[in-house]
Structure 1
Amino acid sequence: MIRWLALMPVLFVPAAQAEQAQKFGDVEIHYNAMLSTDLLPDVAKNYKIDRSPTRGIVTVSVLKKNAMGVAQPIPARLTAYMVNLSNQLGDISLREIKEGSAIYYLGEFRVVPPNTLKFTVIVEANGEPKREVTFSQKFYK
């Protein structure tokens, strides 16, 4: 849990970027993408993420409001891919991270800045319709 709390600001609110989210009724999908060099070395090491100016990471978490209206993490099956400005498609393998009550998903991909990538994440949570979020992220040298 302590690692998650230390990682959360780094993953979801890096410099010059803000957390992004889409709501689908009681379900919220939070996502972000950044260069792996934006991570602190210790954080990258703890999560076995290669820090490189040509490696990016995407983070996704899925939350659902409980009966009291409080959003809580829920497990989901995720499929992710990205498309670069040359329309080259790349699959992103996501791995589930559980720490305490937190559940989130991390994936790594190749990017050569400057570039803009368009991401698509398909989320299948138990008992919920399949959801799709798309977002674009600019990457700078």
Structure 2
Amino acid sequence: MRKIKTVITLSCVSLLVACGGPATDATVPEAEPAGATSVDIGEHIVHFSAQSTDNLPPEVARAYDFVRSKNRAMLTVSVLEKGTNKAVTAEVTVKTVNLTGQLKNVTMRTITEGDAIYYVGETSVANHETLIFDITITPEGVNKSVDVRFKRQFITN
């Protein structure tokens, strides 16, 4: 029995030696960068994000009339003047669909907090649902609107 164990051990060691160990030029693929959360639209920078309303602190949800839930998604958009980072008034509309093409109703509203201006909207989401947000932004004083598209998957369980 001892002889069998020795043969097995030597065989394993031989295989390990034969493989040469890790390659010296082995490369590890870099992680994909997270999706963009802002876009330069000329004279302005648009910041956008989507998250579960469950992530909002209770006092913030109450103050701004949000329903805190893992099954509710909130879109936030802000428009800043490039160079000064001053908040800019804008017309912001959004069309949202999931991956099956189902239209999700998101009505945007404006929240002003000091010098900051946020455009927010919320909608329902299901577990593992991915939403595609098509946002149209027209900053005040600009005649041309700009479209921004991003997608976000929501995990609700």
Tell me the TM-score range normalised by the shorter chain.
Answer: 0.7 to 0.9
* Greater than 2 Å deviation, 4+ residue runs: none
> 2:140 corresponds to which residue?
126
**Structure 1 position 32 matched with structure 2 position 46:** no
1:50, 1:18 → 2: CA distance? 26
**Aligned 1:4-83 pairs, distance under 5 A:** 20-65=37-82, 69-83=83-97
1:86, 1:102 → 2: CA distance? 35
Q: Which amino acid aligns with 1:22?
A: V
- 8 Å contact from structure 1 (residues 32, 59) kept in 2: yes
TM-score, length-normalised on structure 1? 0.81
1:9-46 alpha-carbon deviations (Å, 9 max, x no partner): xxxxxxxx887100012211100001111111111111
Task: Give the paired residue count.
Answer: 122
Q: Which amino acid aligns with 1:24?
A: I
2:119, 2:141 → 1: CA distance? 19
> 1:5 corresponds to which residue?
none
Where structure 1 has 5 or more consecutive residues not aligned to the other structure, the ranges are 1-16
> 2:151 corresponds to which residue?
136
TM-score, length-normalised on structure 2? 0.73
Query: Helix, strand or coil: the match of 2:118?
Result: strand
Which of 67, 87, 91 aligns to 2:101? It is 87
For residue 113 of structure 1, report the CA deviation from its aligned partner.
Answer: 1.5
Greater share of strand:
1
Where structure 2 has 5 or more consecutive residues not aligned to the other structure, the ranges are 1-33
Q: Which amino acid aligns with 2:155?
A: Y
Is the radius of gyration larger for structure 1 or structure 2? Answer: 2
Q: Which amino acid aligns with 1:116?
A: T
